[in-house]
Amino acid sequence: THSVVVRDVAKTFPTKTGDVSALQGIDLTVADGEFVALIGPSGCGKSTLLRLIADLDPPTAGTIEVFGKPADRARRDQDYGIAFQQAGLLPWRTVAANISLPLELHGVGAAERKTRVAELAELVGLTDFADRHPDQLSGGMQQRVAIARSLAERPRLLLMDEPFGALDEMTREHMQTELSRIAAETGAAVVFVTHSIPEAVFLSDRVVVMSPRPGRITHIIETGFGKD
Ligand code: ADP
Ligand code: ADP
């Protein structure tokens, strides 16, 4: 079955100088457990497409289904985890409390939350920083907190906008490996935006190449690294 089905989606932003067509004629299907990279030059609509799938913004035309439901229902049912480039952490919460947030929202009990948060903090190498606040961390560390938070509920779909962008090279490789492992273990589908061709090719089953003005999918490449 399909984690994501995007059908003939368009997105237009009204601006002072007229409408900007950010996306046009987008059709994309992501299979369960599939790893899909969105790549293309700046302004081709990668982030916009991801935000539409995440129901952070509605499409101007077309439909988006996540696990066979309209995207807004999937969002309410918490079927997916989101990690965007601007980490989006709550500044008044500690690292642990930020990671814990989706679990709290989902009504996971305090004891289980504690265990899961400790595991996740360790996974992203931030055990020693669990009691710090986001403004006491580097950009890369904040990004790791956002990744940990997006994994907290073991979502069936992960949406990630340049999740490794702010990481140094060593940490990036570690996080890439961990993400692949977690996605394989949990069977989660992943849709992620990247600027890096090697990252797109080595992490994903399919690379979706986009071009700007208006944002379109120009081709889709099977990497051959996919699961069989
Ligand atoms: P990418 O992520 O590929 O760099 P974006 O999705 O950020 O591209 O942007 C696609 C196009 O939509 C760009 O032309 C951008 O300027 C425009 N755009 C994105 N968000 C908005 C917005 N909130 N208001 C107006 N234009 C926007
Ligand atoms: P909850 O714990 O119900 O999820 P919040 O996420 O709003 O509630 O807040 C978590 C903690 O941060 C609470 O102790 C709350 O009092 C505090 N808090 C909430 N909003 C702010 C804020 N804008 N500035 C400082 N502290 C806040």
Instruction: Calculate ∠ Cα 194-195-197, nearest 5°.
Output: 95
Ligand nearest to the backbone CA of 102 = 2
Q: Give the position, in ligand 1's atom list, of the atom nearest the Cα of 45.
A: 6
Of residues 33, 32, 34, 13, the one with CA closest to residue 22: 13
Q: Classify the C-alpha dihedral 59-62-65-70 as positive or negative.
A: positive
pLDDT for 86 equals 66
- Phi first, then psi, for residue 54 (nearest 5°) are -80, 0
For ligand 2, atom 19: residue with the closest CA: 92
For ligand 1, atom 26: residue with the closest CA: 13
Ligand 1 centre from 95 Cα, in Å? 30
The gap from C-alpha 204 to its chain's centroid, in whole angstroms, comes to 13
> What token pair was written down for 166?
């702010």
Q: Verify whether ligand 2 is closer than 6 Å to residue 92 (CB atom).
A: yes
Mean pLDDT within 15-28: 95
For ligand 1, atom 6: residue with the closest CA: 45
Query: Which residues in 168-190 are b (16+ Cβ under 10 Å) and which e?
Result: eeebbebbbebbbebbeeeebbb
Quote the pTM value. Answer: 0.83
Round the average pLDDT of the chain to a whole number and report it: 91
For ligand 2, atom 10: residue with the closest CA: 93
Residue 179 parent element (H or E): helix 169-186
Mutation probe of ligand 1 site: the residue of 48, 191, 193 with most atoms within 8 A of C-beta? 48
Length of the chain, in residues? 228
Report pLDDT digits (tens) over 137-154.
Answer: 998 899 899 989 988 888
Classify 215 as helix, strand or coil.
Answer: coil
For ligand 1, atom 22: residue with the closest CA: 13
The whole-angstrom separation of Cα 5 and Cα 49 is 12
The whole-angstrom separation of Cα 181 and Cα 164 is 16
* Confidence tier at 228 by pLDDT (50, 70, 90): very low
Complex confidence, ipTM? 0.69
CB atoms within 10 A of CB 15: 8
Percent of the chain with pLDDT over 70: 96
Ligand 1 centre from 106 Cα, in Å? 32
Alpha-carbon torsion, ordered 118, 149, 80, 153, to 10 deg:
20
Q: Verify whether ligand 2 is closer than 6 Å to residue 202 (CB atom).
A: no
